[in-house]
Amino acid sequence: METEAKIEFAPLSAPHGGVFVVFVDGDLKVAPAVAERLGPLARRLASIAKKSQFRGKKQTAVDVVAPADLDVDRLLIVGVEREKNGEPLDVVTLGGFVCGKLGAAKRAQIAFLAPSGEWGAAEAADFALGFRLRAYRFERYKTKKTENDEPKPGAIEATICLEGVEAARAEYASREAVAEGVELARTLVNEPPNVLGPVEFAERAQELKRLGLEVETLDKKEMAKLKMGALLAVAQGSARESRLVVMRWRGARAKKGAPFAIVGKGVCFDSGGISIKPAASMEDMKGDMGGAACVVGLMHALARRKAKLNAVGLIGLVENMPDGGSYRPGDILTSASGQTIEVVNTDAEGRLVLADVLWYAQEKIKPSAIVDLATLTGAIVVALGQEHAGLFSNNDELAERLIAAGRKTGEAVWRMPLSTAYDKQIDSKFADMKNAGARNGGAITAAQFLKRFIKDGPWAHLDVAGTAMGSPSSEINQSWGSGWGVRLLDRLLAEHYEDKR
């Protein structure tokens, strides 16, 4: 893990040293208990704010260094004025904002009391989640200290002060599990491709056994016996062998009940193969396993919080490289389902990997529903930018649940069409289908391709090419690898698929 925050909950006490964080509304008022701790300084807040042109609006702050009448290094005053439309404050984002404003501080005491209204244990836990996600750094390969040869900032110790400490700790336990899952997914995406190939990725997944997961890894020979001709073709040009990893969590009362399956594309590096990509930004293709990273992070979170459901995560891990053994445009592959695929573009490789893993999931796991995640197409970025992931589904209920979970977590999805009208673009003269269609509607034809490997059950495909890596930074994420999808799917499963008894 790469977190740089140590979080504790405690009753509000007299501030001493470090940074003292307080919250004010649009009238620049603090909670009465906070005003008592501030003493005479509380009466001067309006004057301080006026000089700083601070009005208490959300995601604004004023920093007072060495404030008089207070035994702290800094006083950070943070605005939480309510929106005029009445929308509730996003406390997760607030946690990230505060963490960002603390800078290189080593210790912070956060008076988590609302100036007006109520913040309880759940809000405190959400605040802590946002704070921790913002504190993530990936700097394990940096040998220099800083540009100025100063030591890198260490972990910040943050104490969140409120009433109901035990309740907050209990609420935070599940958030902490999710935070760990997000951090794990981010780290996997951030790792360089010479460090994290298919074999090494599978070994990282094996480490989840310590949390109680059953983890099985299939090698090239075992996949060949299963006739996974589509997945294995992608890796023909690489010196690194492919892997299929199956992670099982049995948390439901009925241990043998049909599990929910989550499938991830794990192309650990994608050169494009014979249909090679342009050199510009090819280094970003180390993140073409963002879907698989999310699945591993999600399974970590489910096990850590002991989720009351049966779930199986499956990831197909390959590397797509060009050499004399590479698969070629014009090749015809036979997938595990028996369907044949004409290769017209070796850079449309992720769908070949998913085709065999999705089929395996249905044949061997017999899931109640499937969600797959893949950094599948640049076309989805053209369509939606980097603010939404593309959602394709054969089931309205599953799609609506994903959309709702996206609204609640901020990991937004936008439903795209599935229609047989697009099938003619991937029909082949020589095989059952081609692995790519025309340029127009590229994300849709990719989803239509995947749909040909889905039987009858509920299925959703998330194209996360714009959100899993290189997405815009936010108050809760400053990392290139975002860990996108862990919070979304954890919310989906917690609300709709876990035992409620």
* Residues identified as active-site: 277, 351
Q: What angle do CA 482, 308, 95 make, to 5 degrees?
A: 35
Nearest partner of 33 among 48, 46, 15, judged by Cα = 15
Give the whole-angstrom CA distance, residue 370 versus residue 172: 28
Alpha-carbon span 435 to 453, nearest angstrom? 13
| DSSP state string for 105-124 | -SEEEEE---SSS---HHHH
- The neighbouring-strand residues paired with 372 are 263, 461
Gap between the Cα atoms of 128 and 134, Å rounded: 10
- Alpha-carbon distance 46 to 163, whole Å? 26
How many Cα atoms within 13 Å fall on the side-chain side of residue 109? Answer: 21
- 378 and 284 Cβ atoms separated by less than 8 Å: no
For residue 213, give both structure tokens: 């997961």
Phi, psi of 481 (to 5 degrees): -85, 120
Compute the distance between CA of residue 260 and CA of residue 487 in angstroms, rounded to an integer: 16
HEC per residue, 187-248: HHHHCCCCCCCHHHHHHHHHHHHHHCCEEEEECHHHHHHCCCHHHHHHCCCCCCCCEEEEEE
The two beta strands, 74-79 and 61-65, are antiparallel
